[in-house]
Amino acid sequence: MEDRPLSGHDLLWNWARWCWTGETPGNMQRYVPQEDDHRPIMVDHALAVQALYERLPRHQAMVIQAEYTRKNSWFGQLSADGRRTMARRWIQEVTGAVLRQEDYTRLLEVFQMKVEKEIWR
């Protein structure tokens, strides 16, 4: 373990980089986040985050996708506000869940805190 625990945000970026290390399915364009961040991926941490992520309700998982695993590949050209607006529309189209900006932010922050707490306990 590290001397200084990583934040939930740091752990989620590590997880996002880990998610992109596998094979790209079908005809999807490959996105290589290592171009943005050259730190080694901490696989044990990523697996722990993955276990927490898999237990999320679909609409909350989509918030996490929009902010981490799909942030640059799907929403990279948008500002933070634009990304969150588009993500909320996407979530509503797919799941029917209507999230206000406050709901979206709360779901994101709750998961970041849960990741940090669970991984460093």
What is this structure's pTM? 0.82
Helix 101-120, helix 43-53: angle, nearest 10: 130
Give the angle subtended at the CA of 81 by the CAs of 29 and 30, to the nearest 5°: 10
- Taking CA atoms, 19 is separated from 16, 34, 68, 95, in Å, by 5, 11, 10, 23
- 112: tokens are 């970041």
Mean pLDDT in consecutive groups of 10 residues from the start of the chain, 121 residues: 75 92 59 59 94 97 94 87 95 97 97 93 66
Q: Where are the domains of the chain?
A: 8-21+34-120
Q: Are the C-beta atoms of 14 and 45 separated by less than 8 Å? A: yes
CA distance linking residue 79 with residue 114, whole number of Å: 26
